[in-house]
Structure 1
Amino acid sequence: MVEAARALFVREGYHATTLTAVADRAEVGHRTVYVRFGTKAALLRHVVDVAVAGDTAERAVAERDWYRAALTGRTLADRIEALAEGTAGLMERAADLFEVVLQAQATEPELAEAFQAGRADTRGLLRRFVESARTDGLLAETTDPAWQEETVALAGQAETYLLLRRTTGWAPEQYGAWLRRTLTHVLAAPLR
């Protein structure tokens, strides 16, 4: 059902996709989709959650191996590499669905709230990444640590990737390379 819903949401958009169409594509009874998810918004939230995680395991991003490596790598370069690779992979899996959520949030408060919560979670995870590197003595001296944290948090947001994809045509790999370079500049170069 998740794969069927993903394909329809991405191809048809939120408003044109129905739970009945998802059931038909998934070759399950119509009632099955309604019983399992209840609403189209709840189904989309689940599909996005699976795409963000990369699987159906009940583990948050903070518990994923790539994020743990971003917090514990031996060098700043190791940590940046893990974060950039993990974030680019997440965007590759979920960006098309983020576009669907952005389209739907005007009429679906549940989706707007979930997307805002995702922004806040992402900001928190990225600030934690910077704070961990600072605590471990891996960052260049700066007079403005809050700027570092906020800049990194902005670079890793879904909307940043979506804007870059729209304006530059970048694929996730190109975004990953940009993210590596940006984070290296922001975190390794002394600020004056």
Structure 2
Amino acid sequence: MGEHVKTRTYTSSLRAQQAERTRGAILDAARSLFVTQGFRRTTVQQIADRAGVNIDTIYSAVGRKPALMRELVETSLSGQNEAVPAQQRPYVQQIREAATAGEKIDIYAEAIAEIQQRMAPIFLALRDAALSDESCRALWKEISERRARNMLEFAADLRVTRQLRADLDDQRVADVIWSMNAAEYWVLLVEERGWTPAEFRSWIADSWRRLLLAS
């Protein structure tokens, strides 16, 4: 009886691993095609061919094209195989535990430089898709508004240190950070001007310190 249970558990584990590998292959294929040829021009059949699966497998493992785009955005943000709320990401916890505003800024700048290497290409693909697809337009708005809310929380966390400039309210602080952690800003400096991720990280950390902290 015990051996039967072990065999069944082992088989179930293998199936779960295979399902995760299949899901990963589907997302990798969708990412490559969305980034290189755009959301609108990419078909589910092309994604299936690239991933080596049939269309029904895509629908059962992830969903239709808008669901694929959402998964790509969420996993790019989290750096994991699934969506992770911002409050549960390790760097956010490190920010909360940091004692000074400068330390919090440095942690976040490093996180942004890492995230944008994954996020920027798919975020720009989503921006372009939002021009013609209603589901992508709703997702673009949702992500943008979520990011703005998160920046308000970050501003409030900086405020607790009493090291922010007195003439800046939390909304202004959040807006400054929101604009400079955007995928578009990353693309301008890293992809178009040839900055390294390390140079980008140092730049935004130094800029936020100069712009936002009391001297």
User: Normalising to structure 1: TM-score of the pair?
Assistant: 0.87
Q: Does 2:41 match 1:16? A: yes
Secondary structure in 2 aligned to 1:103? Answer: helix
Q: For the residues of structure 2 that align with 1:67 and 1:11, how far apart are their CA atoms?
A: 32
Matched-pair contact (CA < 8 Å) for 1:19–1:34: no
Within-5 A mapping of 1:107-186: 107-137=132-162, 139-145=163-169, 146-165=171-190, 167-186=192-211
Per-residue displacement from partner, 1:137-174 (whole Å, max 9, x unpaired)?
2x244122242232122222233333444653334333
Contiguous gaps of at least 5 residues in structure 2: 1-25
Q: For the residues of structure 1 that align with 2:82 and 2:72, how far apart are their CA atoms?
A: 13
Q: For the residues of structure 1 that align with 2:183 and 2:174, how far apart are their CA atoms?
A: 16
What code does the residue aligned with 1:41 have? P
Q: Does 2:32 match 1:7? A: yes
Q: What does residue 60 of structure 1 align with? A: 85
Aligned residues, how many? Answer: 189
Cα distance change of structure 1 residues 104 and 141 upon mapping to structure 2, 3 Å threshold = closer
Matched-pair contact (CA < 8 Å) for 2:151–2:177: yes
The alpha-carbon deviation at position 58 of structure 1 amounts to 4.1
Q: What does residue 85 of structure 1 align with? A: 110
Q: Which of 1 and 2 has greater Rg? A: 2
Q: Does 2:88 match 1:75? A: no
Contiguous gaps of at least 5 residues in structure 1: none
Q: For the residues of structure 1 that align with 2:151 and 2:96, how far apart are their CA atoms?
A: 10
Secondary structure in 2 aligned to 1:176? Answer: helix
Identify the range of structure 1 (1-10 vs 149-158) with the bigger mean alpha-carbon deviation.
Answer: 149-158
Identify the range of structure 1 (87-96 vs 171-180) with the bigger mean alpha-carbon deviation.
Answer: 171-180
Q: For the residues of structure 2 that align with 1:141 and 1:13, how far apart are their CA atoms?
A: 43
What code does the residue aligned with 1:18 have? T
The answer to which structure, 1 or 2, has the higher relative contact order (CA under 8 A, 6+ apart) is 1
Q: For the residues of structure 1 that align with 2:189 and 2:153, how far apart are their CA atoms?
A: 24
What code does the residue aligned with 1:144 have? L
Q: For the residues of structure 2 that align with 1:172 and 1:115, how far apart are their CA atoms?
A: 24
Secondary structure in 2 aligned to 1:16? Answer: coil
Cα distance change of structure 1 residues 21 and 59 upon mapping to structure 2, 3 Å threshold = same
User: Normalising to structure 2: TM-score of the pair?
Assistant: 0.79
Stretches of 4+ aligned residues off by more than 6 angstroms: none
Q: For the residues of structure 2 that align with 1:19 and 1:115, how far apart are their CA atoms?
A: 21
Matched-pair contact (CA < 8 Å) for 1:122–1:157: no
Identify the range of structure 1 (150-159 vs 78-87) with the bigger mean alpha-carbon deviation.
Answer: 150-159
Matched-pair contact (CA < 8 Å) for 1:61–1:67: yes
Q: For the residues of structure 2 that align with 1:172 and 1:116, how far apart are their CA atoms?
A: 26
